[in-house]
Amino acid sequence: MSSRKIFLFLFLALFIEVFSEINYNKESLRIHENNKGKLSVNSRVPVLDKEDLSIVSSPWVSEPCYQIYNDKSDVYKYTIKGHTVAIVSDGTAVLGLGDIGPEAALPVMEGKAILFKEFGGVDAFPICLDTKDPEEIIKTVKIISPSFGGINLEDISSPRCFEIEERLKEELDIPVFHDDQHGTAIVATAGIINSLKIVKKEWKDIKIVVSGAGAAGLSICRLLMKFGPGDIILINKDGIIYEGRTDLNTIEAQMAKITNKNKIKGTIANALVGADILIGVSAGNIINSENIKTMNRDAIVFA
């Protein structure tokens, strides 16, 4: 194929992509409005006559109740608990939208529930809470926990999310997972492991810059530290984090003690000089191509 034909093909592909995206917002609104949301509750057993009804409801439903009463662990045998997750959010840090509140966060949590079902075969239900108080969130999750086999904390702002997660892990006997922390950290680390193989660099020799000190950025740093990188520079909205900065929250101050060995100060532009890896988990449009050029050869950028 000639270069002219390749150019025309790529231009046509780009043209289709750009103009097909124009209606994505309208299509999303249409789907949500027509279906009144994306989730429903469906019976796993048929109810065709009164005998079926009496088995799944009164009076014979009492038998599994007795069994669970005598042995609480049987709740996993006789109920939905073992395959059901609560997706809990207060709507304070919703994917790029920020603090939009519990009602506006509900479409996102519905979408998370679909991911659980479609890709994991797990039933999940969105629980959007009208409170920003960590104690109220912790108390509420503990109260509803008998119905669920796991808790997925979602889109809760930092640093409250760290306290909520830690407390719930200590006080509940079911798994507690915070997607914005654990999910992003696992994915970013996996990507770096493979990227370093391609560029043939060793962990001990690399300098990593993490732009964003929210739940994602802080958790990514925590996990990356276990691999022994040469150094990690963490940046929040006010600049590079270093030990001695007086405006850091508790978690940022802890990270300042184990990152930024040379106590570099300034902006992300200063941090990127001589860096090998940039991980962006903050706002957009805060760096440019000139900043990237100051990084080391074979730089890795997760934007």
pLDDT, position 286? 87
Give the C-alpha separation, 221 to 233, whole Å: 9
pLDDT, position 191? 96
Average pLDDT, the chain: 91
pLDDT, position 215? 86
pLDDT, position 208? 97
Give the C-alpha separation, 145 to 173, whole Å: 9
Q: Which regions of the chain are under pLDDT 50?
A: none
Contact 243, 268 (CB under 8 A): no
**pTM of the full structure:** 0.77
pLDDT, position 159? 84
Structural tokens at position 300: 């890795």
Domains in the chain with CATH codes: 79-174 (3.40.50.10380), 183-302 (3.40.50.720)
Contact 268, 241 (CB under 8 A): no
- Sequence-distant (≥ 6) Cβ neighbours of residue 250 within 8 angstroms: 159
pLDDT, position 180? 82
pLDDT, position 214? 87
pLDDT, position 250? 87
